[in-house]
Structure 1
């Protein structure tokens, strides 16, 4: 969004912006109906997507276009270069049809051999590799900076790597020989999984639905109404054709854009839905979990994260700070980034000085520009409330704290927020600060400097502080000491992932990318492998020449 300047200047900017957008838009408008039971069906109206760049160049025109088109889909406004796609809206009847189609397809799909269902994962990876540019462009259109879009893409390649797929298959089916018995420990699909991806990253999150399908479940995918395009593209244009290729029954995958409350209320009450895979805020997710239990359903939750980076006295400070600056990627609106730092007092000043330097490379810009890492923050009132509270409580502003324009100029009206660091002295009262205790979801990170003490006492305090976090997505540690590493590995029980001397948000084969304890994953939270979470264990014994009497009472 541009601010200041005369009306004539703003008009000139809008005209120039429209010209640039016209050059960018060469492909036809993407249009997706509801996808139910293997067919595209009509919806109850449309929601439109305008490009992420347009919302920065001319937010007034972009919002006006969306509103006019959603009132009149036949309007000539659909030809405007800012408009990149549309998705049909589901009615109650369509939601019911999707559940019925999934329930009808689930037994047939579950009967497919595991090896054949695993082929879906291999083919999905092949399609990701073939359509890399299209995947990244879809994210850029939804305002993800290009650099982050490529990280999201590479993360999915790790989730669907040959190593990871092999490990998933081992977990789904293992066999043993015991005397005259063939013993099988396997996981069976839960049935119908209703999947709710989040608004901040719907495309890569929706891709986790492929893993639910690989377990043998049928899936009903809800594309977020406010940002539906990429989810519908992935399900309809990428996943559905692979399922057809594999011979999956119609209804194995259903995808539709729908109102969140309307959909959740229906899914909770619907006896045809077995699991609800929900990605969103902790308060809403924990309420959903209670409702699911009351209605006999499994809730699979990916909620907020409030991750901590621990920096010991012997850490490689520049590299540790590289990991800490991940807190600002996407303006902190990614649950997997660090949300706080706990630093040994011996290296606190060095770390803060290095952090001030490295923050200078974190800049805003249009999403398709290289090296842009910040995203717009539309609702920033809470950011300033949290910052003011921290400073009033005795925190020290190290850097940042203001709004800025797309070119990085400080401004009282800009839609970007400066990467902001606050020093908090004292571990004992750190969680009295809301910026320490809660997930902020802003480019705002507290650096908690522990009180001086012996290393033995500090190590105990650091472990206790990490384990006491009510959230539990990821934790990370920076140290050169094998003893400190061993202590953290043995004693840190909180969280779904522990990273040591590594990128905090980076993904690797075999290990989970999501999942955690407490406010991150609910009462049943743990590291989240969607193939395993949407299935259940079953033991099988196949005997030959065994006497039942002897099996019970012995020879």
Structure 2
């Protein structure tokens, strides 16, 4: 904070995720004792892979003050420094440390495949194509006669980011793009997984900012409890924007608090993404994309959450999906083919599954807890990838797993009622647009008519992908953001560099006559209709006296 490290008497300890699989109780007990000061931090066992200083109230306030002091100074730096230079250096340094960052993520519990996926998203976010897009949106300039006309985005000021527990590092780096807009940034490293956030921001982002001469306080990172820290942000006069990750219920309430306090809320909440599979789709490719629903045991907001399928291809799709789901396996995070993560509290999964089956859904596969070796065990901390088949769009949203995000490995596949294709297409589009959530949508179809219909009529969601990975990152496109319960009333595709800045129009003239400028467009388009400007002489007595 403020360009300096600040020590603390309190610490948050990070337990190696592999050890948690061996004896979660003992490891978590040691973690709690260390954090409460009941065990000396000297001679820590190998199960403790790191620790992060925990911030107290005065430290949190000092971080906000440092950001407030830095924001106007940093915001005055040229865009070439803030955006081009910082983005180029970040991409280079992240590439150089990609393997090291991956190892830290794995130690915190991310399967190595998903850790690499997160790093891939970071690199796309700061890649040359994305940087070029940001620049095109941040500043445009035009000539109008003797004037230079600019449309530019100006920084909001101090931005605070509260990343989620399931993907804190990639979300924190998403917030770092707000620095390129000219903002000063304060990030909370979550207590459940603070090491990756603190390491990358301290060892990668901070040196880049120092290299370009950013003022101290441009970046500040603290680790603390979320409730008091968020309250401090909302109440602080220094804070302009708050980026909040969490459930839709909590996020909508937090949005109201922000608006009341005069803060801009930028919400990243639940997703309940729809994938549409039309009758002419490749069932093998579509099923491969649907297996992404089970990555991280479904504990990711941007995965497929429900499938709507044309009845002509339903049987082939279900058969392919069930077969490919067999390759989604649990295990230790460092193992190359592991994609499932532990689910420590699984009662909601079984309650949701019972609700679906009681309402007529059919179990296609899964439905049990299991151990890391895939043996079924009611005490297992992993869940089998589970697919349920729902017959008919009518009433499908009466099932909880269809209507709401589940956040565990349970995918409902809805087979539409038979009807003429033009009727089904209309129903599919209406179904997607009526989703209360709106993060991502995907369509698998080869018919240009079908594809064009979705492109022209689907307006919900922050991202729409056609015949592609649902979760894969691409240049130019946002990684987050959506409509409805996903993004709140201001929800849209989330480019934080744009969301944490505001438009400003600028005219630069060498010295134009103001009275001529008043009717500029009228005089240019209709020169014979009106005088070219106001009179330049004032013959009245009142004007002479004046």
Give the TM-score normalised by structure 2: 0.94
2:253 corresponds, among 287, 292, 311, to: 287
The answer as to 2:45 corresponding to 1:80 is yes
The answer as to 2:287 corresponding to 1:321 is yes
Q: Deviations over 1:36-90 (max 9, x none)?
A: 1111112241110001111101212211220221123872565201000111111
Partner residue, 1:298: 264
Judged with a 3 Å threshold, the aligned counterparts in structure 2 of structure 1 residues 539 and 78 are, in CA distance, closer, same or farther, namely farther
Question: Which structure 2 residues correspond to residues 544-555 of structure 1 after superposition, within 5 A?
Answer: 544-553=510-519, 554=523, 555=532
Preserved CA contact (<8 Å) 1:69 1:77: no
The answer as to 2:419 corresponding to 1:453 is yes
The answer as to 2:391 corresponding to 1:391 is no
Question: Which structure 2 residues correspond to residues 4-403 of structure 1 after superposition, within 5 A?
Answer: 36-72=1-37, 75=40, 78-118=43-83, 119-403=85-369
Q: 2-side partners of 1:249 and 1:332: how far apart? A: 41
Q: What is the DSSP-based 3-state SS (H/G/I as helix, E as strand, rest coil) of the residue aligned with 1:207? A: helix
Unaligned runs of 5+ residues in structure 1 are: 1-35
Q: What is the DSSP-based 3-state SS (H/G/I as helix, E as strand, rest coil) of the residue aligned with 2:435? A: coil
Unaligned runs of 5+ residues in structure 2 are: 524-531, 533-546
Preserved CA contact (<8 Å) 1:121 1:210: no
How big is the shift at 1:220?
0.7
Q: What is the DSSP-based 3-state SS (H/G/I as helix, E as strand, rest coil) of the residue aligned with 1:523? A: helix
Deviation larger for 541-550 or 377-386: 541-550
Partner residue, 2:537: none
Preserved CA contact (<8 Å) 2:33 2:39: no
Judged with a 3 Å threshold, the aligned counterparts in structure 2 of structure 1 residues 44 and 280 are, in CA distance, closer, same or farther, namely farther
How big is the shift at 1:545?
4.0
Preserved CA contact (<8 Å) 1:340 1:446: yes
Q: 2-side partners of 1:410 and 1:58: how far apart? A: 19
Preserved CA contact (<8 Å) 1:44 1:91: no
Q: 2-side partners of 1:494 and 1:93: how far apart? A: 42
Q: Deviations over 1:261-301 (max 9, x none)?
A: 00111111111000001111111111111111111110011
Q: Deviations over 1:372-419 (max 9, x none)?
A: 010111111110000001000111010000000011111110100000
Q: 2-side partners of 1:60 and 1:295: how far apart? A: 42
How big is the shift at 1:255?
0.4
Q: 2-side partners of 1:260 and 1:536: how far apart? A: 28
Preserved CA contact (<8 Å) 1:65 1:77: no
How big is the shift at 1:155?
1.3
Judged with a 3 Å threshold, the aligned counterparts in structure 2 of structure 1 residues 274 and 364 are, in CA distance, closer, same or farther, namely same
Q: Deviations over 1:442-468 (max 9, x none)?
A: 010000010000000000000000000
Q: 2-side partners of 1:545 and 1:367: how far apart? A: 66
Partner residue, 1:29: none
Q: Runs (4+) of structure 1 moved beyond 6 Å?
A: none
Q: What is the DSSP-based 3-state SS (H/G/I as helix, E as strand, rest coil) of the residue aligned with 2:140? A: strand
Preserved CA contact (<8 Å) 2:308 2:413: yes
Q: 1-side partners of 2:36 and 2:411: how far apart? A: 42
1:441 corresponds, among 399, 407, 419, to: 407
Q: 1-side partners of 2:25 and 2:516: how far apart? A: 80
Preserved CA contact (<8 Å) 2:15 2:50: yes
Q: 2-side partners of 1:358 and 1:74: how far apart? A: 47
Preserved CA contact (<8 Å) 1:69 1:78: no
**Greater Rg by CA:** 2
Q: 2-side partners of 1:308 and 1:109: how far apart? A: 41
2:458 corresponds, among 480, 492, 497, to: 492
Q: 1-side partners of 2:37 and 2:65: how far apart? A: 31
Q: What is the DSSP-based 3-state SS (H/G/I as helix, E as strand, rest coil) of the residue aligned with 1:335? A: coil
Q: What is the DSSP-based 3-state SS (H/G/I as helix, E as strand, rest coil) of the residue aligned with 2:473? A: coil
How big is the shift at 1:120?
1.1
How big is the shift at 1:226?
2.1
Q: 2-side partners of 1:38 and 1:63: how far apart? A: 33
Question: Which structure 2 residues correspond to residues 487-526 of structure 1 after superposition, within 5 A?
Answer: 487-526=453-492
Q: 2-side partners of 1:432 and 1:204: how far apart? A: 34
Preserved CA contact (<8 Å) 1:340 1:445: yes
Q: 2-side partners of 1:511 and 1:70: how far apart? A: 41
Q: 1-side partners of 2:397 and 2:30: how far apart? A: 45
Number of residue pairs the alignment of both structures matches: 520
Q: 1-side partners of 2:123 and 2:11: how far apart? A: 32
Q: 2-side partners of 1:293 and 1:504: how far apart? A: 33
